[in-house]
Amino acid sequence: MTDIKPLNDFEFRKWLHSRLKVDEPLQPGDPLYEPLYQAAVGDPVEMIGTEISLAVVESLNFLSGFRGSGKTTELFRLKKDLENDGHFVVYANALDYLLPTEPIHISDFLLVLAGSFSESVEASLNIDLQQEGFWTRFVNYLWNTGIRIDGLDVKATVPGTDVGLNFKTSLKEVPSFRQELRQKLATRLGEVRRQVHEFFEFGRKRILSSQPKSTSVVFLFDQLEQLRDPIGTEGRVADSVTTLLANHRSDLNVPLLHLVYTVPPWLKFKLPQLSDVRMLYNVKLWKNDEKRTRFSAGWKTMRQVVERRFTAQGLERYFGKPTKAGVFSLVDRLIQASGGHFRDLIFLLRETVLRATELPITSSIVEATINNLRTSYRPSNLVDARLLHQIALHRDCMLENPTAESLQRITFFLDTHCALILRNGEEWYDVHPLIRDDVEEILKRDEAARSRDAEPK
Amino acid sequence: MAAPSPTSFSTDSIRPLYQWEQIEGWRLLMQHFELADAAFSFVVVFAPDDWAIALIREHLTEVCGGSHTLERLRFDPAAGPESLSQSLLAIDAPSVHPPIVWVDADPCDAEQTEERADAWQQALTILNRYRNTLQKRFHGPLALALPSRMEQIFRAAAPDLWSIRSGVFRIEPVGSSYASLIRLPDEEHAFLRKMDRDDSGDPAVTLAEAAKLRGKSGREVLLAALLHRAGNQARNRLDWPTAKACLEEAYSLQAIAGADPGFGWDIANDLALVLFETADFDRAEYYLRQALQIVEDNFGPASAEAATGLNNLAQLLQDTNRLNEAEPLLRRALEIAEKVHGAAHPTVAIFLSNLATLLQHANRMEDAENCLRRALSIDVRTFGRSHPNIAIGYSNLGRLLHDMNLPREAEPLLRRALAIDEAVYGPGHPLVATRLNNLGGLLRTTNRLAEAEQCFWRALIINEQTYGSDHPAVASVLNNLGHLLRLTNRLKEAESFLRRALTILEGAHGLNHPRVAAVLNNLGALLESAGRFAEAESLLRRALMIAEQSFGPDHPKVRTTRENLKHLLDAQSAGK
C-alpha cells in the first residue's frame, strides 16, 4: 500500500505502525530496504561475495555486527547476489540448534553444522532425505560403533521412531545428554569430522545434481554471534566460542563448500588476530574528531531510511512542511537521537506514531519519544558510567587484557547500543549521543555526592 | 502501618493513585494495542511493583472489552525458572483475533522480593533463548509486565528479547515524578535555571532577587523557591538564623500558594535539618511529621517517598534517644523500600545502616551487626569493592565492632575504608579526615596513642583546610585530640583544644546542643585530672543537664557523664 491519501489520520498511523517493525529481516527487493552498507567503501557483503567468487572451490568467511545492524537482512542480500552469480545458497539459523547461553564444544558444533545443513537442504530442495538425513545417519553411526547415550538407545532405522529428531532436540535442550555425548566423542573427533564431511559431500552432490546450473554450494550459518554470556557469569560461552574459532578453525572449513558464519562482534577483543571478519558498522553521522563534525553521507542514508518507511508524500503529512532545503527538522532530530543506529531510528519513529495525537506531529512528541528511549539507555551504575566515559573520551574500547567481566560489559554496551562501533579509515568507538550527557552528569553527581557525604551513615 | 503483604493488601488500596487518563505510559500502551496489526508484537510493561501490575491487568481487562481479550499467563517462581518459557511456548493462540497474552507474577511478601528478582532473572535468561520461536509461534501482542526495578536486569538477562521490543511502557501513578515538583510557568523555570548557573552560594544575592517579588500577586511559588534556595545557601554557611527564617517563610508561602506537595516536602525536610542543628528538636520533629504527612497523603503510605519521610523522622527520634519510637518507623521504612525497590537496592542498604545505628545505640549489637553486614553485601554487589559507599559500610561496621570491643576485627575495616577514600578522593579530602578520626579513636582505645595522635592531627589539618577553623567538623577532631592529649598528660594543650572545640560548637549549634555536652564532658574530666574540681563540676553538671534534656535519663552518654560527675564528687569528698 503506497497510496496514503484516502486514509484518515488513525488509519495512516496504523499503516505507518505496520511499516515500522523493529526486528523483521527484509528480503532483497523489499521496498523498505535501504542499502545502508552498499554505499560505504568496502561493502562487507560485496566483499564476501567477491571472496567466494574468486576462491572458486571453497572458502571461509565471517560476517559480524552489533545487534540490530541488519546482519540477517544483509545475509539475505548476499544470498540473492550469490544466487544471481550461479551459486546454490543454503541458509540455516544456529539458534534453531544451539542455546545461546551455553558453551559450545567442537563436537556439538560439527554435528549442529551438518544437521542444520541437512534440514536446510531438505527445505531448499523440497525433498525428504529420510534415512540419508544427517541426524539419522549420525544416530546410526553411534549405534553401529557401540556408543550408547542415555535416552538414545534405539537404532534410527527401527521403523516408527524419530530418533533423529529426538537426537537434535536433546542435543540442544538436555545438558546431561550433551555432556555425555561430548565425553563419548572426545576420543573420536576424527571420526565425527569424517562423518560430517562425508555428509556435506553427499549433500553438495545431491544439490548440484538436482540444480545443474549451480556452480557451487554456499552455506550461510547465521546467528552464531548470538552466543554470549549473561552479565555476571564467568565467561564460559565467550571462552568456548573463542576456542572454537582459534583452535578449530580448520573444522569450520568444509571441503568444496563456501561457508559464511556470522560471528560475535566481541570476538575482535578476544581474538584480535582474527582479521578477516567483515563488520557491519554503525551508520556514521559524525566524524572521529574532537567536535564530532557532522558526516553528511550518513545523514543522507538515514533520511532515506525514513523516506522509505513513510514515503515522500507521507513524510510531509506526518512531519509537516520541510525547510527550503527540503529538510524535515523533526526527522533530523530523531536521526540525531538514533546515533546512526538503524533499529533505534525505527524504534523512535514507531513510538512517535503511538504518541501522535494530531498530524503533523509536534516537536514535543519527538522530544518525549527521545526522552523515553534515553531512559532505556541510561547506565545503571557507576562502573558502567565510568567505562562509557572512557569510551567517549578515547573513542576506543581499550581492552588490552580483557577479563570476562569487561568483555561482557563491552558486549552489553555494543548490544544495547550504549556504545557504537564506527569506521572511517580505521575502526573507532563512541558513546551513543542519547546518553553522552547523562554519563557525564552521573559522574559529576557522584563527585558532588562524595564531597557532600562527609559523614558516615 | 505495616508494609502491604499479599494477605493484607488489595489493588483497591492503590487504585486512587492511578488516574488512567493522566498516565502517559498507559495511553501509549492502549495506542499500541489499537494500532498493532495481527502480527506478533512484544511489549514490556514496567510498573512500581506487582500490586500495580495486578491493577493494570485488571484495568486492561475492563477497558479492552470486546476489542481484545486478555489471556493471562501467571509466572510462578515455585514452578522453576523454565516454567515461564514452557508455559509460553505451550500457548496455542489463534492466528485470527489473537488475544493479548499478558505475563506477570502474583505479588509476593516483601521478604521474598530478592528471591523473586532472582527467579525472574533466571526465567528471562531462559526465555531469551526462545526469541525466534516466540516470533514464529505468536501472532498477536505478547506483553511482559515486570516491576520497574527489573528493567536493568531484563536488559542484561534477555538482551535478544529486549532488542525485539515493540515498545516499553512505564506505568507509574500520577504525581510520583519529581520532574515537576514546582509547577511554575516556563519563564520562571528559566529564571531558576539561570540562577543555578550563576549560583554564587551567597544567600544575600538570592534574597535580593526574592525581595523584588514580594507583594506581587501570583509569584508566591517562585518567591518560595527563592527563599528555599536562600535558606539552603545560608545553611551551607552555618548561618542558622537566616536559614531558619527563609525556610519557614518558604514553607508558609508554598502552603498558601498550593504548590506541588513534593516542594513542601523538600522545604519541611530542609527546615527540620536546620532546627536540629540549632537543637530545636520539638520543632524539627513537627516539620518532619508534616513532611511525612505530605508524602503519605500525596504519594501513598507505601511509597518510596513515605519510606524516606519515615527514615528522616526516625533519625531525629533516634538522635534524641527516643529509640523505641524510632525503631518501628525505620523498620517500616525498610519494608517499604524492600517492596518498592527490591531487597537488594542501595536504598535498602541505607535504611539498614540507619537501623543498625539505632540498634547500636540500643546496645543490640548483634542485630546491628547483622543489619550492617546485609547493607554491606548489598552495596558490594551494587558498587563493587572499591566504591566510596563501601568505605562507608566498612567504616560503620568497623565502628560497631570497635564498640563491641572487637578492635582486631574492627581495625582492618577502618583501615580499608580509609584506603578506599584516600584512593578515590585523594589524601586531603574531608571524608579521609572522617576515616582518620574513626581510626584514631580505635588506636586510642587500644593504647597506640602516638599513631592515634598522628591520625587526629592529619584529620584536623584536612578539616581546617577544607572548612576553615570554625567549623563543627574541626571541633569534632579537636574534641578527640583534646581527649587523647589528656591521656598523654599534656593537659594544657588538651584544655586549649577542648575549649576551642567548645567555642566552635556553642557558636554553631547554640549552648544546649548534645554535641556541646560531649565536649563539656571531656573538658570536665580534664579539669578533674588537673585538680580543678570546682570548674570541672560546673562543666559536668551542665553537660549532664544538656544530655538529659536531649536524650532522657537512661542514655549511655548520660550515664557516662553522670558517672564522671559521681567520680568527681567522690574525689572531692575524698580530698576533703
B28 vs A354: CB contact, 8 Å cut-off? yes
Query: Assign residue A86 a region: left if phi > 0, alpha if psi is -120 to 50, beta otherwise?
Result: left
Q: What is the pLDDT of residues A158-210, one digit of tens each?
A: 544 566 677 887 888 777 888 888 888 888 889 999 999 999 999 999 999 98
Q: Which domain holds residue A260?
A: 44-280
Residues A332 and A391 in one domain: no
Separation between Cα atoms, residue B174 and residue B180, nearest integer Å: 11
Residue B1: predicted pLDDT: 30
Pairing mode, strands A426-431 and A419-424: antiparallel
Q: What is the pLDDT of residues A42-54, one digit of tens each?
A: 788 999 999 998 8
Work out the minimum CA distance from A377 to partner chain B, whole angstroms.
10
For residues B58-80, average pLDDT: 86
- Tell me the H-state helices in B404-512: 407-425, 430-445, 449-467, 472-487, 491-509
For residues B544-570, average pLDDT: 85
Q: Does A27 map to a domain?
A: no
In sequence order, what DSSP letters do the residues of A325-364 get, joined into one string? TS--HHHHHHHHHHTT-HHHHHHHHHHHHHH-SSSS--HH
For residue B164, which residues of chain A lie inside 8 Å, CB to CB? Answer: 22-23
Residues A190 and A266 in one domain: yes
Residue B352: predicted pLDDT: 94
Total count of domains within chain A: 3
Q: Does A342 map to a domain?
A: yes
Separation between Cα atoms, residue B269 and residue B286, nearest integer Å: 10
Last residue of a domain, one of A229, A257, A280: A280
* Number of alpha helices (DSSP H) and beta strands (DSSP E) in chain B: 26, 5
Distances (CA, A) of A148 to A114, A154, A181, B200, B485: 21, 9, 9, 80, 82
Residues A121 and A206 in one domain: yes
Is the pLDDT higher at A180 or at B541?
Answer: B541
User: b/e map of A213-234 (b: 16 or more CB within 10 Å)?
Assistant: ebebbbbbbbbbbbbbbbbeee
Determine which helix (DSSP H) or strand (DSSP E) holds B73, and give its type and residue range: strand B70-75
Q: What ipTM was assigned to the predicted interfaces of this complex?
A: 0.73
Separation between Cα atoms, residue A216 and residue A238, nearest integer Å: 33
A230 vs B157: CB contact, 8 Å cut-off? yes
Residues A327 and A273 in one domain: no
For residue B166, which residues of chain A lie inside 8 Å, CB to CB? Answer: 21-22, 350
Work out the minimum CA distance from B459 to partner chain A, whole angstroms.
12
* Mutation for A interface: B41, B155, B360, B386, most A CBs within 10 A: B155
User: b/e map of A351-376 (b: 16 or more CB within 10 Å)?
Assistant: bbbbbbeebebbeebbeebbebbbeb
Which residues is A221 bridged to in the sheet?
A92, A261
> Which domain CATH number covers A448?
1.10.10
Separation between Cα atoms, residue B521 and residue B562, nearest integer Å: 10
Separation between Cα atoms, residue A133 and residue B370, nearest integer Å: 62
Q: Does A232 map to a domain?
A: yes
B156 vs A95: CB contact, 8 Å cut-off? no
Say if residue B307's pLDDT is above 70: yes
For residue A442, which residues of chain B lie inside 8 Å, CB to CB? Answer: none
Residue B3: predicted pLDDT: 37
Say if residue A376's pLDDT is above 70: yes
pLDDT band with cut points at 50, 70 and 90 for residue B218: confident
Q: Does A25 map to a domain?
A: no
Nearest to residue A166, comparing CAs of A188, A144, A142?
A142
B156 vs A23: CB contact, 8 Å cut-off? no
Tell me if B239 sits within 8 A of B203, measured CB to CB: yes
pLDDT band with cut points at 50, 70 and 90 for residue A308: very high
pLDDT band with cut points at 50, 70 and 90 for residue A152: low
Reduced to 3 states (helix: H, G, I; strand: E, B; else coil), residue B1 is: coil
Q: What is the pLDDT of residues A311-324, one digit of tens each?
A: 988 999 999 999 98
User: Mean pLDDT of all residues in chain B?
Assistant: 85
Residues A267 and A215 in one domain: yes
Provide the percentage of residues in chain B whose pLDDT is more than 70: 92
Q: Does A447 map to a domain?
A: yes
Q: Which of A425-439, B48-62, B351-365 has the lowest mean pLDDT?
A: A425-439
A455 vs B36: CB contact, 8 Å cut-off? no
Residue B388: predicted pLDDT: 78
Q: For residue A81, what is its C-alpha cell?
A: 547476489
Most confident listed range (A19-28, A414-423, B254-263, B560-569): B560-569
Write the residue in A382, A453, A457 that is nearest to B353 by C-beta.
A457
For residues A112-129, average pLDDT: 89
Place of cell 568467511: A61
pLDDT band with cut points at 50, 70 and 90 for residue B278: confident
Separation between Cα atoms, residue A362 and residue A240, nearest integer Å: 50
At position A214, the amino acid (one-letter code) is S
Work out the minimum CA distance from A299 to partner chain B, whole angstroms.
23
The CATH architecture that domain B11-174 belongs to is: 3-Layer(aba) Sandwich (3.40)
Residue B110: predicted pLDDT: 58
Q: Does A28 map to a domain?
A: no
Q: Does A38 map to a domain?
A: no
Write the residue in B128, B152, B383 that is nearest to A382 by C-beta.
B383
Place of cell 481479550: B69
Separation between Cα atoms, residue A409 and residue B215, nearest integer Å: 57
Separation between Cα atoms, residue B160 and residue B164, nearest integer Å: 7
For residue B36, which residues of chain A lie inside 8 Å, CB to CB? Answer: 17
Q: Does A37 map to a domain?
A: no
For residue A13, which residues of chain B lie inside 8 Å, CB to CB? Answer: 35
Place of cell 584529620: B459
Distances (CA, A) of A149 to A140, A142, A176, B195: 12, 9, 10, 75
Say if residue A451's pLDDT is above 70: no
CB pairs < 8 Å spanning A and B: 105
Peptide bond into A360 cis (omega under 30): yes
Q: What is the pLDDT of residues B465-500, one digit of tens each?
A: 887 888 888 999 999 999 999 999 999 999 999 999
Residue A361: predicted pLDDT: 94
B163 vs A68: CB contact, 8 Å cut-off? yes
Residue A61: predicted pLDDT: 93
Write the residue in B129, B353, B425 that is nearest to A450 by C-beta.
B425
For residue B465, which residues of chain A lie inside 8 Å, CB to CB? Answer: none
Last residue of a domain, one of A326, A359, A377: A377
List the single residue in B with minimal CA-CA distance to A346. Answer: B166
Neighbours of B569 (CB within 10 A): 13
Distances (CA, A) of A190 to A110, A144, B279: 11, 16, 84
Residues A437 and A343 in one domain: no
Last residue of a domain, one of A377, A400, A435: A377
A22 vs B473: CB contact, 8 Å cut-off? no
B168 vs A376: CB contact, 8 Å cut-off? yes
Residues A369 and A430 in one domain: no
Write the residue in B35, B155, B159 that is nearest to A353 by C-beta.
B35
For residues A240-261, average pLDDT: 89
Work out the minimum CA distance from A350 to partner chain B, whole angstroms.
8
- Any idea of the CA torsion for A417, A419, A424, A426, to the nearest 10 degrees? -130
Count Cα neighbours of B157 within 13 Å in the Cβ-side half-sphere.
Answer: 17
3-class DSSP string for B81-97: CHHHHHHHHHCCCCCCC
Residues A271 and A358 in one domain: no
Q: What is the pLDDT of residues B129-188, one digit of tens each?
A: 787 778 878 888 899 999 887 887 888 788 888 888 888 998 877 643 322 334 455 666
Write the residue in A22, A351, A416 that is nearest to B155 by C-beta.
A416
Residues A161 and A70 in one domain: yes
Phi, psi of A368 (to 5 degrees): -60, -40
* Mutation for B interface: A23, A343, A353, A370, most B CBs within 10 A: A23
Work out the minimum CA distance from B258 to partner chain A, whole angstroms.
27
Nearest to residue B237, comparing CAs of B527, B77, B65, B471?
B471
Write the residue in A226, A353, A383 that is nearest to B384 by C-beta.
A383
Residues A252 and A154 in one domain: yes
Residues A188 and A295 in one domain: no
Which residues is A64 bridged to in the sheet?
A263, A279
Residues A315 and A272 in one domain: no
Place of cell 520543632: B283
Place of cell 564444544: A105
Most confident listed range (B29-38, B362-371, B433-442): B433-442
Q: Which residues neighbour B221 within 8 Å (Cβ) at sequence distance 6 or greater?
A: B182, B183, B184, B188, B253, B254, B257, B259, B263
List the single residue in A with minimal CA-CA distance to B431. Answer: A454
Reduced to 3 states (helix: H, G, I; strand: E, B; else coil), residue B541 is: helix
